[in-house]
Amino acid sequence: MEKYIKDPIYGNIKVESKLIDNPYFQRLKHIIQNGMAYMIFPSMRHTRFEHSLGTYYIASKMIDRIEGNIDSDFKEIIKKLALYHDIGHFPFSHTFEFALDVLKYLNDDKYKEIIGLTEYKGQLHKFHEMMGIKILKDGLGEKEVADLMENVYTSSNPLDDKIKIAKLIVNSDLDADRLDYLQRDSYYSGAKFGIIDPERIIITMTITPKGYIFPPKAIDDLEHFFLARFHMYSSVYNHPVIEIYNRVMSYFIAFAIHKGLLKIPSNLEEIKTFTDEQVFLALINAKNDNELSHFYFSLVERRKYKRAVLQGSEARTLHKYLTEDEDAKEFYEYILGYKGKVVIGSTELKTSIDNIQIKEKLGKYEYLNNLKEESSVVKPPERFRVHIGVYDDNVAKEISEYFSKNFSITLDFRNLESNP
Amino acid sequence: MEKYIKDPIYGNIKVESKLIDNPYFQRLKHIIQNGMAYMIFPSMRHTRFEHSLGTYYIASKMIDRIEGNIDSDFKEIIKKLALYHDIGHFPFSHTFEFALDVLKYLNDDKYKEIIGLTEYKGQLHKFHEMMGIKILKDGLGEKEVADLMENVYTSSNPLDDKIKIAKLIVNSDLDADRLDYLQRDSYYSGAKFGIIDPERIIITMTITPKGYIFPPKAIDDLEHFFLARFHMYSSVYNHPVIEIYNRVMSYFIAFAIHKGLLKIPSNLEEIKTFTDEQVFLALINAKNDNELSHFYFSLVERRKYKRAVLQGSEARTLHKYLTEDEDAKEFYEYILGYKGKVVIGSTELKTSIDNIQIKEKLGKYEYLNNLKEESSVVKPPERFRVHIGVYDDNVAKEISEYFSKNFSITLDFRNLESNP
Amino acid sequence: MEKYIKDPIYGNIKVESKLIDNPYFQRLKHIIQNGMAYMIFPSMRHTRFEHSLGTYYIASKMIDRIEGNIDSDFKEIIKKLALYHDIGHFPFSHTFEFALDVLKYLNDDKYKEIIGLTEYKGQLHKFHEMMGIKILKDGLGEKEVADLMENVYTSSNPLDDKIKIAKLIVNSDLDADRLDYLQRDSYYSGAKFGIIDPERIIITMTITPKGYIFPPKAIDDLEHFFLARFHMYSSVYNHPVIEIYNRVMSYFIAFAIHKGLLKIPSNLEEIKTFTDEQVFLALINAKNDNELSHFYFSLVERRKYKRAVLQGSEARTLHKYLTEDEDAKEFYEYILGYKGKVVIGSTELKTSIDNIQIKEKLGKYEYLNNLKEESSVVKPPERFRVHIGVYDDNVAKEISEYFSKNFSITLDFRNLESNP
Amino acid sequence: MEKYIKDPIYGNIKVESKLIDNPYFQRLKHIIQNGMAYMIFPSMRHTRFEHSLGTYYIASKMIDRIEGNIDSDFKEIIKKLALYHDIGHFPFSHTFEFALDVLKYLNDDKYKEIIGLTEYKGQLHKFHEMMGIKILKDGLGEKEVADLMENVYTSSNPLDDKIKIAKLIVNSDLDADRLDYLQRDSYYSGAKFGIIDPERIIITMTITPKGYIFPPKAIDDLEHFFLARFHMYSSVYNHPVIEIYNRVMSYFIAFAIHKGLLKIPSNLEEIKTFTDEQVFLALINAKNDNELSHFYFSLVERRKYKRAVLQGSEARTLHKYLTEDEDAKEFYEYILGYKGKVVIGSTELKTSIDNIQIKEKLGKYEYLNNLKEESSVVKPPERFRVHIGVYDDNVAKEISEYFSKNFSITLDFRNLESNP
């Protein structure tokens, strides 16, 4: 049975009941879209569920812009993949993936156990995507969608034209996912940065195995889109205070798994109920754990961390150091000795603009220009930020000394929510 | 320190940090505004926290419309009360209060234990309001606000002019609470019914001990407001399917308390973390409880109840029967024997319109007309609905027979989400 | 060539260039949608052009809800009629039609000359609709659309099923016209009354020769629609001050035609440029006309009329008197003696709700209920208002005496924009 | 008397009646905000009146962000100036100013006559601003506002602190004018580019004689604002097709003045009624003028010009040539020989970002950085476009030859509304 689901962004989304009436998809109602962003934008309480429906809606419109020989069955599979693209997210979405990065240093066995859930054989990409493939295959019995998901998320340059097209719609710099979440996250947050015009972008696009093709008049819309994305990252998703809360939460998740306070699922059945609530309950239980109670006081009782931020070239250099595993191991082990009373997060704000062609006419000739190589087009800048949060003044002092001694960097700690 | 909190409805809400940085108010981030409404309107994930800030914002504007001698300290207390008016809500807001109604029949001791938490001496009014008074007094040490709250929520006709005015702003048919939630719930749901113009209503009002006074030109706005409210109740808050989900959840809460699956807080410290998550975890644990697993399958695995609805005079009569305690006790005991495989909810859609005066001029005379007595003003109708949900066809059959035999009413059960 | 036209209500409206690239349709860019409403809501500057495109857009959606055997060619004709339904409007839209009512008393020859432009043989209905038929036939050569327009606007109960269905879409109580203008006029005015959800109404409707058929769950949406309409009329379209301005303008148009200050078109070619601007220029020229300069001072220099309003039973009685031609002739002649220094307008706010059926199920039977006969449905009230505007205190005095003497009615004149 | 005017952008704008109840300000209801933009965005029918009220509203908020010793009387004068900043606009706003540029070549006497109306003694700046000063002084008797307007619009670096601050609010890169029109023009057009968050910008700004001072966290908002502005210019105000229509209209105005078809006002009294309507009527009269009828057919009957556009370095070079008077005189005389059957417009899309400081902290020191010199801030690019419109293929051929021979530029003419 088809039904209409009311959505404040698109009005009414039409979808087959059977696609959404299963516990795996329903679980997304309990996975918040933007981690801890609601600590600063309290109205951002929307979940992966609404976003998944929105992505499905946008993908359904994009399907009509495909040029070439794609049969309607495959189009349905693309739409299903759009609907299910986030089905593998664990509690607090990307915050959980940060937690995995921490867990790797803290407890490699547990880390491997979680990764093992995905049963993915190749090199691991994003955790939630690999998890999604597993759920699609073994939970929902959607083998074709699972296979497409694997192709679309693990290959950066697929050979097959159908896969290329599916990848444009579901996993590209201008995919249905991004076209949905920019507006949606703007709507819920109240921040205006992400208000774009997806309909106009879709109307002017052609989707081909060579990438998206647009007429020159679409350039303003494309610039607008990529800048909107940049500003949503800079001001909302990676808001300095939200960064700290996300890191505190991800350190908590890692420690809670490490110490058995948060039980990780061991099979698909348990994944059905592995939701934000589980993490929140672990947090409440941490109140009486000598080593971890500071997480409770920070996240529930609002005992605020102090924070320092690095920007510019210092941040760039430190970011590179922190994300090149081997060198940074010693540093992370030092940090983890503080059991989450020190958290560190490094962000690279970077906008990739691939597979977008502008079709120009020169007299009787037509040719394609790659958008990202067009020097006249405004593109978002690249920015680096490293955020360091500390639980109290003692820790602040020790960390400042460590940074000064080891990195020759002076940290300037402030109250969490004072103006940056 | 004053700060601005981004809000999608009003833009930016200015508030003192110290008013909101405490675990009791922060707890509201984990109390969903509209119970189970998100089962039908998935984007309604907003919480009592955002609504409380919004109510504070609206109250701050209304303060300027007071005519008479109210000192600025008392105005601040009114604003605080607006901010804290929902601080006593328990998980899933009003759904918890339905659960208390069920618990009364199921386990009077537990019921009294919960009520006892409020330490309220007089006749109990709404649970969350009495609980709020307790939290304000003993949790936040806001005695003056607590006292005002008690005056405003327990007396229907206060004598004191200051209390009268505070009551108009915080607990009346046109209070800051309603002016906020109609728009807010429309915004998140995508339903258009509640889009009103509070600024225009506020601009035209005068707040006096005699009630609100409006010029005749405000009548359209007032009609619009009361009809908006009616339609939000009819189509959203009391949407037939949402009603069933709310009842299933409230029966679950009652049974979970009864059987110890949901531990109720025994003091203020435990209330800090008594949130939606606790109920959700109890629900997951119910999966393995022989008697209660149907709640898990219904609410988590989306195994759908069937439902019947009564309207018109049948519903009116049954509603009166069900809400007159003594007569209905036997009926409820029968229903509760099904341990939540049968749920019943009765609704009276009724709009009260009190304390609103229209100031008319007649030549050189001015006089006040009571809005609710103006026959030329369109007012929302009164409607009754009784919803009955059953877990499976066997139960449906038995309940149909019971209704037929005892009430001479024929029930027509349908699938949960088919068109009413 | 199909093109997309940007519209703030629907995003992008797709339409064939050739349908809109003609001077008759383009002329609508110079016919303001809501007469003089911009004197109170300054942002209501939108025209019949945007509204016509919007009506076309809505009709295109409604077409899909037709149940029955309507071929696609006829559907295209219905869509064209939706696009062109206002093509016959003269300057200031309905305000011009009020002017015709005045002109009839003032100068019957001129009146007949204008009416004669329509070449309509039967009994005249609304002027602009008859004019539209003429333009469609002889200006645009759209004979089929013209014939359908005649059928749809001149017959209240067409026999033919196709005509019945077209009439529902283009000229009924729930037609594309109303579904567009309520939202659109809300959007431009900033008044919230007209914000409805046409998509939801369209999704739930079936269009049949028996009328619209809706499921019971649509009742709230239908109530909302009809009340929205009522409030837009009461607070915007018939706003007391706007009423005065519309009457002043319509009296001006009548006198300007009468005295040759405004040249009326004598053929289709001249109609192409018969727009708001012509009237405005006549108004400027009136500045130096001894008899008509008060119109200039009122409408351009903002020298404000005084006004009195009658409501309730007085208004009802007077309204009936004024709209029954023969009796009122003497009265109008008296009023016209003031050459527009007295204007009178009477309004009946009345909402007709025809051809809407609710399909109920009773066990295995289905039956249709007529919405307007459902006593449980809230319907807008009927209201009467008579507005009288006077240019100065002398005139006010004389008119008051006339009303007192002839109608035993006391008029209470106030400044134009003071609170009603 | 204070009154509230309904505005779809800000809700309700409070203003003293006496400020707006005069024919000079009311005239703005008949001066369209964006010239011929409604030919492409039909809903852009809003006028300088609404925008002026909106600018007043924004300025009223900005007033509160002034740091320093500005007395409240002067603040009121700033607010009045914000309200009246566009009071000198002639029909079709900036399109009239383009017409003056053409008239200078066509008929220097008439040009000087119009300029003479302003009675401005110094070097002429923008026409409408000089005209505004005259109207304020001699029409409205607002000498102080007139003096401030002169100071604010004719001096790029005023010495006086009060003037500096007034200039920031009323005539700077981040003034109330721009903060209003970006959103407003987005709202009416439906284009999303200009949706910014002025409240947040205002909340974070401090207005000082040194310029605006912002904290670092405002950088994203400022980037967003300047990019929004750029995109609104690129996609709306200077939309290639709108450019052609604006040029055709401005050539028409120039020729109509030259040939006496459009009578220019000779004193303030005549300015009261010198509105868009006058131009439109001249256009209708042009229908029967042998030399100018092509304007009528183009703008009224929608007989479309062809157009060519130059971009990149060709456009840059040509733009410089065209805007350096002396060299280009010969070229313009050649073009004007076509009596408007050839129109040319050159645009420099350039965003100036002056007087905006970011206050950084470095340990215990604070220092100010100039926003426009911050290399890490994304700034809009500079773009040049030259648009050439021709009435028919013959003219296209001749102009192509002229450009080829004199500028070695190949023109590629297309239909007016085909995709660029």
Is a pLDDT exceeding 70 seen at residue C188?
yes
Residues of chain D with C-beta less than 8 angstroms from the C-beta of C273? 284, 287, 300
The reply to whether D188 touches chain C by the CB within 8 Å rule is yes
Residues of chain B with C-beta less than 8 angstroms from the C-beta of A188? 8
For residue B301, name the pLDDT band (cuts at 50, 70, 90).
Answer: confident
Terminal C-alpha separation, chain D: 52
Residues of chain A with C-beta less than 8 angstroms from the C-beta of C12? 199-200, 203
Residues of chain A with C-beta less than 8 angstroms from the C-beta of C4? 203
Q: Do D197 and B11 touch (CB under 8 A)?
A: yes
Is a pLDDT exceeding 60 seen at residue D138?
yes
The dihedral built from the CA positions of residue A174, A177, A180 and A181, taken in this order, carries a sign that is negative
Q: Do A420 and D217 touch (CB under 8 A)?
A: yes
Question: Residue A77 and residue A169: Cα distance in Å, rounded?
Answer: 12
Residues of chain B with C-beta less than 8 angstroms from the C-beta of A7? 42-43, 190
Type of residue at B381: P
Q: Do C419 and B215 touch (CB under 8 A)?
A: yes
Give the tens place of pLDDT for each residue, B303-355: 889 999 999 889 999 999 888 767 788 899 999 999 999 999 999 999 999 99
Is a pLDDT exceeding 60 seen at residue D283?
yes
Strand order of the β-sheet with B306-311 is B342-349, B383-390, B306-311, B414-415
Q: Mind telling me how many Å the CA of A19 is from chain C's nearest CA?
A: 21
Question: C-alpha dihedral over D394, D395, D397, D398, to 10 degrees?
Answer: 120
CATH architecture of D2-238: Orthogonal Bundle (1.10)
The reply to whether D8 touches chain A by the CB within 8 Å rule is no
Please state the rounded mean pLDDT for residues A313-331: 86
Q: Say if residue A300 is exposed, middle or buried (CB neighbours under 10 Å; 0-12, 13-18, 19+).
A: buried
Q: Please state, rounded to an integer, the average pLDDT across all residues of chain B.
A: 94
Q: What is the pLDDT of residue A420?
A: 38
Q: What subunits touch chain D, counting only 3 or more CB pairs under 8 A?
A: A, B, C
* ipTM, 2 dp: 0.95
Question: Residue B35 and residue B28: Cα distance in Å, rounded?
Answer: 13
Least CB-CB distance to B199: which of D12, D197, D199? D12
Is a pLDDT exceeding 70 seen at residue D22?
yes
Q: What is the pLDDT of residue A418?
A: 59
Tokens 């721009």 correspond to D178
Question: Residue B38 and residue B40: Cα distance in Å, rounded?
Answer: 5
Is a pLDDT exceeding 60 seen at residue B135?
yes
Q: Do D8 and C189 touch (CB under 8 A)?
A: yes
The reply to whether A217 touches chain C by the CB within 8 Å rule is no
The reply to whether D29 touches chain C by the CB within 8 Å rule is yes
Question: Residue A63 and residue A56: Cα distance in Å, rounded?
Answer: 10
Q: Mind telling me how many Å the CA of A370 is from chain C's nearest CA?
A: 26
Q: Which of C383, C382, C375, C379 is nearest to C353 (CA)?
A: C379
Q: What is the pLDDT of residue C325?
A: 66
Please state the rounded mean pLDDT for residues D251-272: 97
Angle at C25 between CA C21 and CA C31, to 5 degrees: 135
Is a pLDDT exceeding 90 seen at residue C288?
yes
Residues of chain A with C-beta less than 8 angstroms from the C-beta of D420? 215-217
Q: What is the pLDDT of residue C372?
A: 93
Residues with Cβ within 8 Å of A210's Cβ and at least 6 positions away in sequence, in order, are: A357, A368
Question: Residue D136 and residue D152: Cα distance in Å, rounded?
Answer: 14
The reply to whether C17 touches chain D by the CB within 8 Å rule is yes
> Are B310 and B318 contacting, i.e. CB atoms less than 8 angstroms apart?
yes
Q: Do B235 and C220 touch (CB under 8 A)?
A: yes
Q: Do B376 and C220 touch (CB under 8 A)?
A: no
Q: Do A197 and C4 touch (CB under 8 A)?
A: no
Q: Which of B18, D196, B44, D175 is nearest to A235 (CA)?
A: D196
The reply to whether A203 touches chain C by the CB within 8 Å rule is yes
Six token digits for residue A115? 């990764």
DSSP line for B38-79: GGTSTT---BHHHHHHHHHHHHHHHGGGB-S---HHHHHHHH
Is a pLDDT exceeding 70 seen at residue B90?
yes
Question: Residue C219 and residue C208: Cα distance in Å, rounded?
Answer: 18
Residues of chain A with C-beta less than 8 angstroms from the C-beta of B302? 21-23, 26
Q: What is the pLDDT of residue D420?
A: 38
For B240-351+381-415, CATH gives 1.20.1250
* Ranges of each domain in chain A: 2-238, 240-351+381-415
Question: Residue B194 and residue B224: Cα distance in Å, rounded?
Answer: 9
The reply to whether D18 touches chain A by the CB within 8 Å rule is no
Instruction: Please state the φ and ψ torsions of residue D389, each to the nearest 5 degrees.
Output: -115, 140
Give the tens place of pLDDT for each residue, A354-393: 999 999 887 778 999 999 998 889 999 999 999 999 999 9
Is a pLDDT exceeding 80 seen at residue A244?
yes
Please state the rounded mean pLDDT for residues D171-187: 98
Question: Residue A89 and residue A132: Cα distance in Å, rounded?
Answer: 7
Q: What subunits touch chain A, counting only 3 or more CB pairs under 8 A?
A: B, C, D
The reply to whether A192 touches chain D by the CB within 8 Å rule is yes
DSSP H or E segment with residue B173: none
The reply to whether C263 touches chain D by the CB within 8 Å rule is no
- The rounded percent of chain B whose pLDDT value lies above 90 is 87
- List B306's β-bridge partners, or say none: B390, B415
Tell me the longest C-alpha to C-alpha distance in chain D: 76
The reply to whether B293 touches chain A by the CB within 8 Å rule is no
Q: How many interchain CB pairs under 8 A, C with D?
A: 103
Six token digits for residue D393? 């293929």
Least CB-CB distance to A199: which of C11, C197, C203? C11
Least CB-CB distance to D203: which of B4, B197, B203? B4
Q: How many interchain CB pairs under 8 A, A with D?
A: 61
Q: What is the pLDDT of residue C418?
A: 58
Question: Residue D345 and residue D324: Cα distance in Å, rounded?
Answer: 14
Is a pLDDT exceeding 90 seen at residue D361?
no
Give the tens place of pLDDT for each residue, B273-296: 999 999 999 999 999 999 999 999
The reply to whether D406 touches chain B by the CB within 8 Å rule is no
Instruction: Please state the φ and ψ torsions of residue D417, each to the nearest 5 degrees.
Output: -110, 15
The reply to whether A284 touches chain D by the CB within 8 Å rule is no
User: Does this chain's domain C2-238 share its CATH topology with C240-351+381-415?
Assistant: no
For residue C126, name the pLDDT band (cuts at 50, 70, 90).
Answer: confident
Q: Please state, rounded to an integer, the average pLDDT across all residues of chain A.
A: 94
Q: What is the pLDDT of residue B319?
A: 92
DSSP line for D88-153: T--TTTHHHHHHHHHHHHH-HHHHHHHHHHT---S----HHHHHHHHIIIIIS--HHHHHHHHHHH
> Are B72 and B37 contacting, i.e. CB atoms less than 8 angstroms apart?
no
Q: Do D302 and C26 touch (CB under 8 A)?
A: yes
The reply to whether C10 touches chain B by the CB within 8 Å rule is no
Give the tens place of pLDDT for each residue, C133-161: 999 999 999 999 999 999 999 888 888 99
- Number of other CB atoms surrounding residue A114 within 10 Å: 19
Strand order of the β-sheet with B211-214 is B206-208, B211-214, B356-362, B365-370
The reply to whether C21 touches chain D by the CB within 8 Å rule is yes
Q: Which of C359, C375, C371 is nearest to B382 (CA)?
A: C375
Q: What is the pLDDT of residue B325?
A: 66
Least CB-CB distance to A200: which of C12, C199, C203? C12
Residues of chain D with C-beta less than 8 angstroms from the C-beta of A363? 412
- The rounded percent of chain D whose pLDDT value lies above 70 is 99
Least CB-CB distance to B280: which of A7, A42, A277? A277
Least CB-CB distance to A42: which of B22, B29, B191? B29
The reply to whether A333 touches chain B by the CB within 8 Å rule is no
> Are A31 and B308 contacting, i.e. CB atoms less than 8 angstroms apart?
no
Residues of chain A with C-beta less than 8 angstroms from the C-beta of B38? 29
Type of residue at D342: V
Q: What is the pLDDT of residue B131?
A: 97
> Are A82 and A219 contacting, i.e. CB atoms less than 8 angstroms apart?
no
How many angstroms separate the Cα of D249 from the Cα of each of C200, D27, D392? 43, 20, 17
Q: Do D197 and B4 touch (CB under 8 A)?
A: no
The reply to whether A22 touches chain B by the CB within 8 Å rule is yes
Three-state SS for C311?
strand
Residues of chain B with C-beta less than 8 angstroms from the C-beta of D203? 4, 12
> Are B146 and B137 contacting, i.e. CB atoms less than 8 angstroms apart?
yes
Residues of chain A with C-beta less than 8 angstroms from the C-beta of D234? 220
The reply to whether A200 touches chain C by the CB within 8 Å rule is yes
Residues of chain B with C-beta less than 8 angstroms from the C-beta of A280? 30, 275, 277
> Are D28 and D169 contacting, i.e. CB atoms less than 8 angstroms apart?
no
Q: Please state, rounded to an integer, the average pLDDT across all residues of chain D.
A: 94
Q: Mind telling me how many Å the CA of B228 is from chain D's nearest CA?
A: 19
The reply to whether D203 touches chain B by the CB within 8 Å rule is yes
Please state the rounded mean pLDDT for residues A38-65: 97
